[in-house]
A and B are shown apart, each in its own frame.
Chain A
Amino acid sequence: MDGPADPRPRLEQTFFADPVLDRVLGMVMALSAEVWVLRERQRRMAIALERAGLASDATPSAEEEAALARERDAFTAALLENLLGRQVSKGAP
């Protein structure tokens, strides 16, 4: 605790051999979150438009909500399964 204090804000914890990876993965996740926000917004608008042109009742039905939740989880899985690093079709190691 003693000694000259580091004037920088505390540096973020690191988990990878190269700390740059820690930071870049953060950026990838931030972008992914933004993509999902846009996609969900767009789906909800489409639902509203499809229902009655410019009808103000944009609340999706329970089934539409459930479909959106499934879509969200599929989006997340497609994004994050890359991080599992498992072969999807068996090949050379």
Chain B
Amino acid sequence: MVGSPEFDAYQRFILSAKLYWTGPMFRALRETYRHRLSLAPKEMPPGPERVAALLAGEPDAQIFCWMERHLQRFKYSGRLGLVPAHEEARAAIEAALNAPLPPGLLELDPGFEVPRYFRAVDIHQHPGGIWSDEIAGAVYERGARSTTPLLSKDLSLHERFTDLVLALRRPRRLLDMGCGFGKSTKPFYERCREAEVLGIDIAAPCLKLAAQDAAAAQARNVAFKQRSADATRLPDGSFDLVTSTMMLHEMPPPVVEGTLREAFRLLEPGGLMIHLDFLPPEEDEFLTWIHYGHGRRNNEPYMEPLARMGIGRVMEAIGFREVRIEPFEEMEGALARRETHWRFPWAVVSGVRPAA
């Protein structure tokens, strides 16, 4: 059962093992890669394919990859995994999710068809995905507390992103695309009380939790709607700021492109679009290989296509200006630890819709 001493002990053990994987196992693998590289023929072209060839059959690589996949499986699906542990609390969770809400806070679309690309895999190894089960949002919420194993307080990355965005722009009307259960939306509606904030997502179970959480926080400047980011049915020019956090890598490139076009349409002239996502550092073939493999091992099949689609050029072609793609530090000193610890290659992607 969630919150039982056994459940907590089990989940803490999995997290501890993930930390070991993040540190010593990652370093062992890098060391082996460097060694193999020093022996490699000079004519091998650099890139993730070279890393794959150099590490083929290496026990360090096999173990690293096994751990990456299976520790996440244990987290969600083991005896005391998140999914079975929440099952026992289902009735209470459902009751809380369906508690009455202030009018206008949540708009679900009963006829909404979850896109095929989202149904085809169980994202980040959450059995059934985050959209199909009524309580999936609650399971995801608990899971997301340790998405980034090095961060004990995972919320700080959302706070840091909000700091960065608000330093560029104080919004009047903000759209948070792919808002999930509202973790990325909350710092905006709490810190910009004067702004109107809208969160959209395709996963109803997450939106329900986002709305209950906002109601509990007595927020009056936010609403949540079940809409796809590439087809929002919202009026032209209705926002001065469009954000997303960890959404783009969940979409195949044509949907990413449709989403960027939609953001352009939704922004008023001069408006800013800014996404926080993952793009591996091109100059580091090892980290690029790790990242592409992570997508496969963690059931996130569009991470590699996103990294390869040349999102900056696509944005320019749509009409965005001041296009920027910059690394993001999810915690103090994170970039400096790139050599010694596994981390997601956080990146901020932004562009402005030119003023007329």
Interface residues in chain A, defined as those with a beta carbon under 8 Å from any beta carbon in chain B: 13, 15-17, 22, 25-26, 29-30, 32-34, 36-37, 40-41, 44, 69, 72-73, 75-77, 79-81, 83-86
| Residues of B with C-beta under 8 A to A86 | 28
A22 pairs with B78, CB closer than 8 A = no
B78 pairs with A33, CB closer than 8 A = yes
Interface residues in chain B, defined as those with a beta carbon under 8 Å from any beta carbon in chain A: 5-6, 9-10, 12-14, 16-17, 19-21, 24-25, 28, 57, 59-60, 62-63, 65-67, 69-71, 74, 78-80, 296-297
A29-B74, A36-B13 known; A84-B80 Cβ under 8 A: no
A76 pairs with B16, CB closer than 8 A = yes
A15-B65, A84-B25 known; A37-B9 Cβ under 8 A: yes
A13 pairs with B20, CB closer than 8 A = no
A83 pairs with B63, CB closer than 8 A = yes
**Pairs across A and B, CB under 8 Å, 6 listed:** A26-B70, A30-B78, A30-B79, A37-B13, A40-B13, A84-B24
Query: Given B6, B21, B67, B79, which contacts A41 in the complex, CB threshold below 8 Å?
Result: B6
- A45 to B, closest residue via Cβ: B5
B13 pairs with A76, CB closer than 8 A = yes
A85 pairs with B60, CB closer than 8 A = yes
The 10 closest A-B pairs by CB, nearest first: A40-B9, A36-B13, A76-B16, A15-B66, A15-B62, A37-B9, A15-B65, A80-B20, A83-B63, A72-B16
A39 and B21 CA atoms in complex are apart in Å by: 22
